[in-house]
Structure 1
């Protein structure tokens, strides 16, 4: 695994990086597991009050995309006080996987959530071939026993990251 450079950072999506972010693609065997970045950006636009989209940059190169969700009522009909934040989408370019970029992005998202006063971060994943489950489990996420749109829901205490 290559160590990401010291110039690794998350950056807002801007006119200068939009094309590179939209051009990101995961491996073909992962395409059924994560939506394309362009759909994420549309969702960010539609849910502007709760979406936090960012490009993952190593120097000037876009190597991935991450989007957090901030303070969403999980199931308002069941418990309107169950407000959650976490990782909505993570796309690492096929050419840049297994180099630490995903771990960096999750750590940066949880740091942002911590700055906002959040104590837990949530994520969901599809199970089956190519699932990101081992990656998220290695970061300390644990299944809650819930499902969301057929995906496993998991949580981690942010203080543990």
Structure 2
């Protein structure tokens, strides 16, 4: 594995990010990267989108959002999406991306980073727990709200 690095999502990398594959059953828990790219266009001042590269290959994508004016605390600094290519899962790529987002949140003065996930056998819950997020509440739809103290 070459050294992992982050790069802003760009016209050059968006196609590769959108082509990331998931393991069977994971697709129900993750929206396509193209949804995230569209959200960034809608509000580029709050959206933080990066691809994870291993050498020159895009192996992951992460999207965070920072909105200090958000009405709800969990939306002030939140991990919205993380995708790691199916063939590259289990290599520390997701952990690398979450740490980078946490560093960005800390640099922006946040004390907590949040994430919301849906429970399920093939869902992301175990990844988020291993990454240090702790369940703090539930949404009205029964999803878990997790927080990572920075």
**1:138 maps onto 2:130 in alignment:** yes
User: 1:83 offset after TM fit, Å?
Assistant: 5.9
Q: Does 1:118 align with 2:110?
A: yes
* Aligned equivalent of 1:5: 2
Q: TM-score, normalised by structure 2?
A: 0.90
1:151 Cα shift? 2.0
Q: How does 1:12-23 map to 2 (within 5 A)?
A: 12-23=8-19
Q: Aligned equivalents of 2:68 and 2:141: distance in 1?
A: 16
Tell me which residue corresponds to 1:155: 147
Q: How many residues align?
A: 150
Q: Which moved more, 1:93-102 or 1:9-18?
A: 9-18
Larger Cα Rg: Structure 1 or Structure 2?
1
Task: Verify the 8 A CA contact 1:86 1:110 in the aligned structure 2.
Answer: no
The residue that corresponds to 1:108 in the other structure is 100
Q: Unmatched 5+ residue regions in structure 2?
A: none
Deviation (angstroms), 1:135: 1.1
Q: 2-side partners of 1:12 and 1:130: how far apart?
A: 28
How far apart in 2 are the matches of 1:82 and 1:122? Answer: 6
Distance 1:83 1:93 in 2: 26
1:63, 1:93 within 8 Å by CA — same for their partners in 2? Answer: yes
Instruction: Label 1:149 to 1:59 Cα distance change in 2 as closer, same or farther (>3 A).
Output: farther
CA-based RMSD of the aligned residues comes to 1.9
CA contact (8 A) 1:124 1:148 kept: no
Partners of 1:123 and 1:41 in 2: CA distance:
18
Q: Which runs of 5+ in 1 are unaligned?
A: none
